[in-house]
Chain A
Amino acid sequence: MKKKNIKTVFSKAVIYFLLVLIGFVFLYPILYMVSYSFMDTQDLVNPFVKWIPTKLYTDNYVRACQVLDYFPTLIKTIYVNLIPAVLQTIFTSFTGYGLARFEFRGKKLVMLLILVTFIIPAQVTMIPQFLMYKDLNLIGSLYSYILPAIFSQGLKSSIFILIFYQFFKMLPKSLEEAAQLDGASFMVIFTKIAVPSALPAYIVSFIFSFVWYWNETTLSALYFGNKIKTLTLGLQNFAATYQNVYSMSVTQGGKNLNEAISMAGTLISILPLLIFYFIFQRWFVQSVDKTGITGE
């Protein structure tokens, strides 16, 4: 009995040790960002300052905010990502519901094509799509994101369709059948019964869609051109923009871009997502449990 106790204590200790170790590896870049973003030029070159800056130096943040044009860009970024994410969630739920609840010819083919669409890299479709938006004069407008989202072809739409398909499939049909016998139309059944009971699937889809749109740069750089600036694209051009903003002031005691300013810029560009994550944290971490997806 005693021997067994020691064994379980030991294995628990090993598990905690491994988890803490892995957790540190995961957090390391973030800790690095936080620590470096507060260092001034002296701290950066001082070999004795490794992790903790000698003082709380906030000028890096001031500069990074200026380079990114922070608050106007932040509001634009939220708006640019929120609208496609909401539309993508609504319209993929349509598709998922149709597949889960009704039988029709060609359903198997549609399911297969949805999976295939997931594998096709964006590079294969983005150039003709770009030319199409160009013909329609939609380059530099948000419609290049909105239109595919409305037709369930947005960013990683297949995943959301499958989430809704699985979720609606899990819901018992009885309530909807009862409503049908009472003479409710199918749209009423969908909006009044199916949608409210699928709330977890909607929340999970929306938060993932929002985050994935936020972090996307290949398509947004191509479709938005220079017209729409987001924080993610701003960070991509951080060094170049810094040169533009500060090249004049070098003579007036300005300084070159250093890693502390870059880290401050990176940190404030992901800060809204971090806050978003801690608000919806439970939904992210339990998304698989909540929607019952394991991919079968």
Chain B
Amino acid sequence: MKLTARNSAKGYFFISGWIIGFLIFTLIPIIRTFWFSFNRVRFTADGIKESFIGLLNYKNAFLMDVAFTDGLINYAGQMAVFIPVIITFSLIAAILLTKDIKGKGFFRTIFFLPVIITSGPVMKQLIEQNATSLPGISEYFSVQELANEFGLLGNLLGTVLSSFIMILWFCGVQILIFIAAIQKLDQSMYEAASIDGASGWQSFWKLTLPALMPVVGVNVLYTLVTLSGFSLNTIVQKISTDMYDINRGIGYATALSVIYFGVILIILTVFMVFINGRRKKAER
């Protein structure tokens, strides 16, 4: 009894910093963000002044602010396309990199390089120079034409093609996580399958993919969080600028951030439900 009490006291000692930090830098700010989002917030000589206006900020965001609603729809569409592309590509790259070949280290070094240098300003410079689309792609396709022809879907396809390199640049960490997971898979399983006459293709779908599903979940989460926080994201930029807008201000910006968080959670839930469904199906 005494020992467990001491044990837990030590535990609290080590995590006390986190608990204080969580309260000051996360929980209280979240509560204040919620509160601000129902207010008009003004800077005055003696600090900030709030006046309660109910749901007006939310109403304005959804009904009056076309840039925001369009941005959200665009964001959701991008996530629906980018995340599967990133996950699929990372998985393919990871499988190639776990094959028995020479120069693995060299390729891994190259594939991981973007993680180091991908920041908003660098991306922006590259996009402005058109260096994020595959060489030659823009000569064959025009995003505008695709959008006119196929609507939203064409628009997304165009985005994927024109910023293909940018999308791939977000794959580094995911590739590493997949590689580690593949290396941990039980090899005897594959031997048994190949004795039973399964081809490499079959054992990928029946063995590798189901076993990797939890890791796919981790990678989806990581990708979603990274893309949602990236500083070139239109919503992220909008929240940062609306904060200083005289007509909108802090109250409005916080309402946008609350809505944004809600949308992120919905997207995450959809992906997780899908992955769980796949896993259950595979288990059966």
A residues neighboring B (CB under 8 Å): 12, 15-16, 18-19, 22-23, 25-30, 32-33, 36, 91, 94-95, 97-99, 101-105, 107, 110, 113-114, 117-129, 131-132, 135, 147-148, 150-153, 161, 186, 190, 211, 214-218, 221-222, 232-233, 235-236, 238, 259, 262-263, 265-266, 269-270, 273-274, 276-277, 281, 284-285, 287-289, 293-296
Contact between A295 and B131 (Cβ–Cβ < 8 Å)? no
The residue from A113, A121, A214 contacting B228, defined by CB atoms under 8 A apart: A121
Chain B interface mostly: helix
Contact between B131 and A33 (Cβ–Cβ < 8 Å)? yes
- Per the bound structure, the CA–CA distance linking A153 and B215 in Å amounts to 25
A-B contacts, 23 of them at CB < 8 A, read A15-B101, A25-B165, A29-B126, A36-B129, A98-B15, A101-B11, A102-B10, A113-B22, A124-B30, A124-B260, A147-B25, A148-B25, A150-B21, A151-B22, A151-B25, A153-B22, A235-B122, A274-B113, A274-B117, A276-B116, A277-B113, A294-B180, A294-B184
Q: Which residues of B contact A126 (CB under 8 A)?
A: 29
Q: Which residues of A contact B111 (CB under 8 A)?
A: 22-23, 26
- Per the bound structure, the CA–CA distance linking A263 and B103 in Å amounts to 30
Contact between A295 and B177 (Cβ–Cβ < 8 Å)? yes
How close is B272's CB to chain A, nearest CB, in angstroms?
11
What are the 4 A-B residue pairs with the smallest beta carbon separation, nearest first?
A151-B21, A98-B14, A102-B11, A215-B119
Would you call B210 an interface residue if the criterion is a C-beta within 8 Å of the partner chain's C-beta atoms?
no
Q: Which residues of B contact A233 (CB under 8 A)?
A: 121
Would you call B208 an interface residue if the criterion is a C-beta within 8 Å of the partner chain's C-beta atoms?
no
Would you call B181 an interface residue if the criterion is a C-beta within 8 Å of the partner chain's C-beta atoms?
yes
How close is A102's CB to chain B, nearest CB, in angstroms?
3
Chain A, Cβ-Cβ closest to B123:
A29
Chain B stretch 99-134: residues in CB contact (< 8 A) with chain A:
99, 101, 105, 107-122, 124-126, 128-129, 131-132, 134
Number of interface residues of B (CB under 8 A): 93
Chain B stretch 238-264: residues in CB contact (< 8 A) with chain A:
239-240, 243, 250, 253-254, 256-258, 260-261, 264
- Per the bound structure, the CA–CA distance linking A232 and B232 in Å amounts to 13
Contact flag A221-B131 (CB < 8 Å), given A125-B29, A284-B112: no
- Per the bound structure, the CA–CA distance linking A289 and B236 in Å amounts to 33
Would you call B83 an interface residue if the criterion is a C-beta within 8 Å of the partner chain's C-beta atoms?
no
Contact between A121 and B257 (Cβ–Cβ < 8 Å)? yes
How close is B136's CB to chain A, nearest CB, in angstroms?
11
Q: Which residues of B contact A287 (CB under 8 A)?
A: 176
Contact flag A110-B18 (CB < 8 Å), given A119-B264, A294-B180: yes
Contact between B25 and A121 (Cβ–Cβ < 8 Å)? no
Q: Which residues of B contact A32 (CB under 8 A)?
A: 126, 129, 131
Contact flag A266-B122 (CB < 8 Å), given A98-B14, A123-B239: yes
